[in-house]
Amino acid sequence: MLSPWAGLAFAPFTLWCIAFFRDPDRVTPNGEGLIVSPADGKLLPISQVVPPPELDLGAEPRLRLSIFMDVFNVHVNRMPVDGQIMALKYKKGRFFNASFDKASEHNERMSIRIRGKQREAADDLAVVQIAGLVARRIRCDLILGQHVRRGERFGIIRFGSRLDVYLPPGTIVLAKNQRVKAGETVLAKFL
């Protein structure tokens, strides 16, 4: 039988796991054309990048907003817009540190294409869940054709990871180099 002292040795790990898998309620802002953060974490520098080829969004570079989630952030992911799921593609890959740009291209990922309500294909945006150095599990609860609401939970990436948002042309970025909260922080807005 293990002594009570052995149980105390595992208490910090148990408490950390409880904190990691927390899923607080969020108040999603109302407003036409808002794009909210799909993840908690640190917004990395904005870049112009071609979206993942598996989503068929074309070869033109788009604004990419990347959110790095460390092990202390809430890792439940939320929808950035109201709309419909147009494509879902899982791609096996490596496990580089998620704060590196190469993680977006080389790491294991789940790519999601979303068409906003009353928008056209050219206005589709992409959300990409990316596994990191420690993260080894991506869970995405979406199905093709599903209608989703801004702020709605759709998955989780277990332990430190990254989430990229590829914006369509004609959006204005409103958040830069700051900490963001899933379902609450407005990242950008459709014109």
Best CA proximity match to 168, nearest among 44, 101, 42, 80: 80
Whether the CB-CB separation of 131 and 110 falls below 8 Å is answered with no
CA–CA separation, 34 and 56 (whole Å): 23
- Residue for token pair 């704060």: 99
CA–CA separation, 64 and 132 (whole Å): 18
- Provide the residue type at 117 as one letter: K
Q: Identify the active-site residue in 66, 104, 111, 161.
A: 161
Whether the CB-CB separation of 171 and 63 falls below 8 Å is answered with yes
- Does residue 66 carry a catalytic annotation? no
**Active-site residue list:** 161
